[in-house]
Amino acid sequence: MRPDDPSLKRMIPPTLKLHEKFYLPQIVGGLLVTGKHILSASLGKGAITVSYPEDQHVPSANYRGVHRLNKDEQGRVKCVACMLCATACPAHCIDIVGATAPESWSDREKYCESFVIDELRCIYCGMCEEACPVEAIELTGLYDLTGLSREQMIFDKTKLLSVFDLTRDAEPMRYTTPPPKAGPRPTEVEPSGLPGPKA
Amino acid sequence: MSFWALVAILFKIGVVVGITQGAVAYLILVERKIAAWAQDRIGPNRAGPFGLLQPLADGAKMILKEDVVPGYVAKPLFILAPLISIVAAMVGFAVVPFGPVTPMPADPGFFDVLGQFQIAPGVDIGILYILAVGSLGVYGVILAGWASNSKYSFLGGLRSSAQLISYEIPLGMSILGMVMIAGSLDLNTIVNWQDRHVWGIVAQPLGFLLFLISSFAETNRLPFDLPESEQELVGGFHTEYSAMKFGMFFLGEYLHVITVSYLIVILFFGGWDIPYVLTQDQTGLVFALIKAGVLVFKVALVIIFIMWIRWTLPRFRYDTLMELAWKRMIPLSIANLVLTAIVVQIVRSWA
Ligand code: SF4
Ligand code: SF4
């Protein structure tokens, strides 16, 4: 961009007027601003605090909290073990072991045998969610999932799928219809008789 | 001095120390509340009704927390430093009048002493004494920084002591105008002068402003709280302190706030005086109590103002802090002093 480009907008700092140079009027102005806040909050009108355990905080729609692994209509994990999320992850906290999908799974060749996210290393950037081609991994609005030890915060596939069960009604999957609520829910996660982690 | 007079003085010391410590505990609660409101929050409200038991919880935390003394510190000095800063802040209260003080009889008895709202009444150099013992707190700061045997604390200690010493100059000089006008260093005489004429803020507006600003710096309150700026300077001189030892620095600072608030009220807002309503001729216990109440009320207003300022002004950078002291406030205070001296001289020679 040239220096005389007409689209260039120059920022000129405002020059202080005489009374502003004395600072004191400005300080009084500042006191009025904070005084207004103090008054309105102390009278119980302006405070924006959420009294947490009693009132639950509702994060905004694009808040990025704990991950979940989505299930498809048949209750199977949607992940096809393409490793795109693990590759995209800047914190290198996703560890996936892929395996050949069972014969009956006609829609894909592979699925994830194990899927581990270290939630302590994760920076909740949402890159994994962006990278996933089948919308299998999503970040939920859950912010109060905690653990008592470091080990508990390393989430395996079971845990991630259970987060899905926890949030499926509150947050429908963004790109597919949510599983039907009525009727018996498909609970089988793994086809029986397959090697791999127990659900 | 009789035995009972001595007992009365000890009793008074106990009351003053107890009340000020309790006041500090609740001032911290008030400060936290005001801090919260200024930021549109609610503030502590869990411990007790409206969070009124919060000071107890804070105190319990201070006492029960692990008190770490790192292995590399100079232990005696490390423990001595917070003591110095709290004691220096506390002994200043000896001459602060909490209400009107009447002249004492030659041989005071128990009730004569008890009737005085001051631990050591009739000290002619009251202000000088407060400034002198108040500045002893610098030793606490320097010792804490030195004894911690850590670069952060050492630099923090130097920084803080430079700040405290620099601001002591305008602090002292801004008072002198008022002292010259009233013709005494005794706080009671100054209040009585204001009662007869005008409040100090009218007589010495510039002196008031300079005193206000330098007392912010002296008490390490924002916008001059570099000694404790946690985020950008890693704590400062008390980085290595924990639990109650840290709490003592904190208490000392708050006691300082109370003292300077008293000074501000006594020097510039007429003490317990309300023009045309309360005058110095009204004596007796009832009036004394009313006046003490008025004084405490005014002091509370000043303290709230100090807390209000905290959330209004951003923290100074270190060089601007020093520049303000040496290039602006000290010349201004000298000018104020000279001008006042001339005016006082002219007025006196007329009268
Ligand atoms: S949110 Fe970011 S850091 Fe966390 S697992 Fe996904 S890609 Fe990695
Ligand atoms: S990007 Fe999606 S499908 Fe691919 S491994 Fe990750 S979760 Fe599975």
Q: What is the ipTM of this complex?
A: 0.77
CB-ligand 2 contact for A136 (6 Å cutoff): yes
Q: At what angle do helices B137-147 and B75-91 cross, to 10 degrees?
A: 160
Torsion of CA B326, B316, A18, A26, to 10 degrees: -130
Mean pLDDT confidence for B43-64: 86
Is residue B279 predicted with pLDDT exceeding 80? no
Mean pLDDT of chain A: 83
CB-CB neighbors (< 8 A) of A47 in chain B: 36-37, 40-42
Q: Phi, psi (5° rounding) for residue B198?
A: -125, 165
Cα(A126) to centroid(ligand 1), Å: 5
Say which amino acid occupies B16: V
Say which amino acid occupies B232: E
Most confident of A79-88, B40-49, B177-186: A79-88
Q: In this complex, do A47 and B308 lie within 8 Å of one another by their Cβ atoms?
A: no
Q: What is the predicted pLDDT for the residue at A196? A: 41
Most confident of A14-18, A60-64, A82-86, B145-149: A82-86
Mean pLDDT confidence for B142-170: 87
pLDDT tens column, A111-162:
999 999 999 999 999 999 999 988 899 998 888 888 899 999 999 999 999 9
Report DSSP state, residue B49: G
Non-local CB neighbours of B347 within 8 Å, separated by 6+ positions: none
Token duo for residue B95: 């001459």
Say which amino acid occupies B336: N
Size of interface A-B (CB pairs under 8 A): 48
Q: What is the predicted pLDDT for the residue at B164? A: 87
CB-CB neighbors (< 8 A) of A46 in chain B: 37, 40
Q: In this complex, do A33 and B37 lie within 8 Å of one another by their Cβ atoms?
A: no
For ligand 1, pick from A85, A128, A130, A159 the residue to mutate: most ligand atoms within 8 Å of CB: A128
Nearest-angstrom CA–CA distance, B60 and A127: 45
Report DSSP state, residue A71: B
Q: What is the predicted pLDDT for the residue at B232? A: 62
Q: Does A37 touch chain B (CB under 8 A)?
A: yes
Q: Are B54 and B48 in contact (CB under 8 A)?
A: yes
User: 3-state class of B332 per DSSP?
Assistant: helix
Nearest-angstrom CA–CA distance, B142 and B129: 21
Q: Does A54 touch chain B (CB under 8 A)?
A: no
Cα(B176) to centroid(ligand 2), Å: 76
Q: What is the predicted pLDDT for the residue at A176? A: 56
CA triplet B189, B88, B4: central angle to 5 degrees? 65
Percentage above 70 pLDDT, chain B: 94
CA triplet B222, B226, B227: central angle to 5 degrees? 110
Greatest CA separation for chain A: 84
Q: Are B40 and A48 in contact (CB under 8 A)?
A: yes
CB-ligand 1 contact for A93 (6 Å cutoff): yes
| CA-based nearest distance A24→chain B, Å | 10
Nearest-angstrom CA–CA distance, B309 and A76: 60
CB-CB neighbors (< 8 A) of A55 in chain B: none
User: 3-state class of B222 per DSSP?
Assistant: coil
Mean pLDDT of chain B: 84
Q: Phi, psi (5° rounding) for residue B205?
A: -60, -45
Is residue B241 predicted with pLDDT exceeding 90? no
Cα(A167) to centroid(ligand 1), Å: 19
Q: In this complex, do B37 and A30 lie within 8 Å of one another by their Cβ atoms?
A: no
CB-ligand 1 contact for A84 (6 Å cutoff): no
Nearest-angstrom CA–CA distance, A192 and A190: 6
Token duo for residue B105: 């009889």
Q: In this complex, do A41 and B308 lie within 8 Å of one another by their Cβ atoms?
A: no
CB-CB neighbors (< 8 A) of B37 in chain A: 37-39, 41-42, 46-47
Q: Are B126 and B185 in contact (CB under 8 A)?
A: yes
Q: Which of B100, B86, B320, B299 is nearest to B226 (CA)?
A: B320
- Which pTM was predicted? 0.77
Sorting pLDDT into bands at 50, 70 and 90, what band is B93? Answer: confident
Sorting pLDDT into bands at 50, 70 and 90, what band is A8? Answer: confident
Is residue B229 predicted with pLDDT exceeding 70? no
Greatest CA separation for chain B: 68
| CA-based nearest distance A141→chain B, Å | 23
| CA-based nearest distance B81→chain A, Å | 36
Q: At what angle do helices B126-135 and B137-147 cross, to 10 degrees?
A: 0
CB-ligand 1 contact for A191 (6 Å cutoff): no
Mean pLDDT confidence for B115-134: 79
Q: Are B27 and B258 in contact (CB under 8 A)?
A: yes
Nearest-angstrom CA–CA distance, B128 and A121: 59
Q: What is the predicted pLDDT for the residue at A25? A: 87
